[in-house]
Amino acid sequence: MKCARRARESPLASPARIRSTIATIVDQPEELREIRLFHKALADVNRLRIVRRLAEGSATVTELIDHAGLSQPLVSWHLGRLRAAGIVTTRRSGRETVCSLRADTFADFERRERVVLGLALPAGDR
């Protein structure tokens, strides 16, 4: 019975599957990848809660654990995603890790995103 069903199924991939595969293979511009990374970093409620807390001022990982109500490994993982996107910086202070929002991160990102997406002229072209 299984052999009969397999014989009826088309061995070829669907056109949608082929387009999806090609889209992942095609070289994506680095500037668009950066925008995607930034948005993906902010696409999680827990990371947004961490960012909102850091907007009030620097905090240790312990303070962020208490604020977010998450485990230490999970807070560290979320901080790693935020660091990779350039949103958060960390520094060691004794045994503690102190986290901060990068100064002007959102304003700088907004300007860059507008230029990359063609919504604004580059600063030199004004």
pLDDT at 26 over 90: no
Average pLDDT of span 109-126 = 78
User: In terms of CATH architecture, what is 30-118?
Assistant: Orthogonal Bundle (1.10)
Task: Give me the chain's average pLDDT, please.
Answer: 85
Nearest to 90 by CA among 111, 63, 112: 63
| pLDDT, greater one: 59 or 23 | 59
Indicate if the pLDDT at residue 4 is higher than 70: no
Query: So what's the pLDDT on residue 121?
Result: 65
Least confident of 39-53, 56-70, 99-113: 99-113
Beta carbons within 8 Å of 46's beta carbon, 6+ residues apart: 68, 70, 74, 78
* CA dihedral (121, 82, 44, 27) positive or negative: positive
